[in-house]
Amino acid sequence: MEQVTDHILAAARKVIAVHINYPSRAAQRGRTPEQPSYFLKPSSSLALSGSVVERPAGCELLGFEGEIALIIGKPARRVGLEDAWSHVEWVTASNDLGVYDLRYADKGSNLRSKGGDGFTPVGPGLIPADTVDPAKLRIRAWHNGELVQDDTTEDLLFPFARLVADLSQLLTLEEGDIILTGTPAGASVAKPGDVVEVEVRTSTTTAGGTASGLSTGRLVTRVEEGTTAFADFGARPKTDDLQREEAYGSREGAGLPAQAPEAPAPVLTPELKAKLESVCTATLSSQLRKRGLNNVSIDGLTSTRPDKRIVGLARTLRYVPNREDLFKTHGGGFNAQKKAIDSVNEGEILVMEARGEKGTGTIGDILALRAQVRGAAAIITDGGVRDFSAVAAMDMPTYYANPHPAVLGRRHIPWDTDITIACGGTTVQPGDIIVADSDGILVIPPAMAEEVADDSVAQEREEVFISEMVQQGHSVDGLYPLNAEWRLKYEQWETDNQ
């Protein structure tokens, strides 16, 4: 088999590398490109197998990436997919080395991070391209003798012929040019004293464990520490945990602590809240009914502040019927009732399941005050309220079945929080959106809240028009709801009043 020689390296006028091409690498990076993208490496970065590469002084993250390299055998300019592979003469192994410490420096061109002397070793053997199926190659890499990369070209994002054809649309691929075709998952960081090896084969290992087909042999690169510091008139090495994570392939690989998951986007955004506050529950109820939801109202309750319209996310508390032995274990101390009150957040609504039991209180003045101080938008209970005068005097609304002087232990045990409950004849889940006004209390599933709000705003806008027309003496026949003729008039009215 022919070998990569200095003559082969000298013939390369361009070294072109693909950013992401293996599905395993795309999954690791968390992005899958729709089209291939490239960067250039200088031909001075080329090196033979057995070479020593320097990790520049002051750098921490010398990344290695085992890759399959294509060597162009005849010029390619605007070639098609069916002809592209015929312009490749050789297939060999490569190691696309780079320092993540300088990744920031050249606006994504990778010139200094990937272009250092010796940062593109290739070889040692050359496999004739016309003897292989480019979709049946295997790439493997070892780090200090441990296999860390092992993948095939069977399901590449961009097959090799596509890369050649794509590049040739704009620039001429010349004889001797080298294309690095991407790296699979498993690329990591090499330190001084480490050895990285890369091999390309034309077939996988057989079931019996015997390797068959052509092989480039192992491309060997040794790493040593650089001793010459960077001058102060250019970019200096710097890194952070994001670069460490990308260089090692994961936070765990980089020895970093696991990152807390990002908080989910808020369901009740300020914009959605404002829309829901601008419309009546009667309107919302009709929109929910159009969507098949008829049992989403909390019924039979009275408000201490019927003048207020409230919108908030539900927090839930469930009471179970009193049983004296269980009340001893669950009724005293910092029980579920107190936990619910003490954990309610700004703008949230505490909804209580009391089974419609009116023979005892479920909230009193002290706990209601604590909820108000914590910023709760309201309390809703289908049971009784103690200390009614004090609770009713608060700015925070409380929705209740009736006043009652008795404490919990007469009929209820506070049992658990933030679970699905039943209140006033409907089901309420933590995170449901509650809207209440003088007409009643609605439970809106978060998934449809935006759509319901938008359609309710539009409905009330129509109703403003209809009210004006009725005031002018028009009959409701055809006007309410709007028929085709009146809808045209409404649309014109809308245009005139924008």
Do 62 and 166 share a domain, yes or no?
yes
Do 81 and 226 share a domain, yes or no?
yes
Q: Which of 298, 432, 271, 391 is nearest to 353 (CA)?
A: 298
pLDDT over 60 at 94, yes or no: yes
- For residues 187 and 246, what is the distance between their CA atoms, to the nearest angstrom? 10
pLDDT over 70 at 72, yes or no: yes
Do 27 and 154 share a domain, yes or no?
yes
Do 140 and 200 share a domain, yes or no?
yes
Do 229 and 90 share a domain, yes or no?
yes
Structural domain contains residue 263 = no
The confidence score (pLDDT) of residue 262 equals: 67
Domain end (from 444, 465, 484): 444
The confidence score (pLDDT) of residue 496 equals: 86
Do 134 and 196 share a domain, yes or no?
yes
**What is the pTM (predicted TM-score) of this model?**
0.58
Do 309 and 369 share a domain, yes or no?
yes
Structural domain contains residue 70 = yes
Structural domain contains residue 51 = yes
CATH number at residue 52: 3.90.850.10
Mean pLDDT of 344-363: 95
- pLDDT tens profile 409-418: 889 999 999 9
Do 137 and 161 share a domain, yes or no?
yes
Domain end (from 190, 215, 248): 248
Q: Residue 205 — pLDDT band, cuts 50, 70, 90?
A: very low
Q: Residue 1 — pLDDT band, cuts 50, 70, 90?
A: confident
Structural domain contains residue 261 = no
The confidence score (pLDDT) of residue 259 equals: 78
CB 77, CB 247: distance < 8 Å: no
Do 140 and 201 share a domain, yes or no?
yes
Structural domain contains residue 287 = no
Tally of structural domains, the chain: 3
Structural domain contains residue 268 = no
Provide the domain limits for residue 389.
Answer: 294-444
The confidence score (pLDDT) of residue 408 equals: 84
Do 97 and 198 share a domain, yes or no?
yes
Q: Residue 258 — pLDDT band, cuts 50, 70, 90?
A: confident
Percentage, residues of the chain above pLDDT 90? 87
Do 464 and 371 share a domain, yes or no?
no
- For residues 329 and 235, what is the distance between their CA atoms, to the nearest angstrom? 66
CATH number at residue 427: 3.50.30.40
Domain end (from 444, 472, 487): 444
Burial profile 270-296: b = 16 or more Cβ within 10 angstroms, e = fewer: eebbebbeebbbebbbebbeeeebeeb
Name every residue whose Cβ is closer than 8 Å to that of residue 379 and which is 6 or more positions away in sequence: 349, 350, 352, 363, 368, 371, 396, 397, 398, 399
Structural domain contains residue 64 = yes
Q: Which of 67, 49, 54, 38 is nearest to 5 (CA)?
A: 49
Residue 74: C-alpha distances to residues 40, 78, 137 (Å):
20, 13, 22
- pLDDT tens profile 313-327: 999 999 999 999 999
Do 37 and 153 share a domain, yes or no?
yes
Mean pLDDT of 456-461: 93
Residue 400 in tokens: 């209740």
pLDDT over 50 at 368, yes or no: yes
Structural domain contains residue 41 = yes
The confidence score (pLDDT) of residue 206 equals: 46
Name every residue whose Cβ is closer than 8 Å to that of residue 263 and which is 6 or more positions away in sequence: none
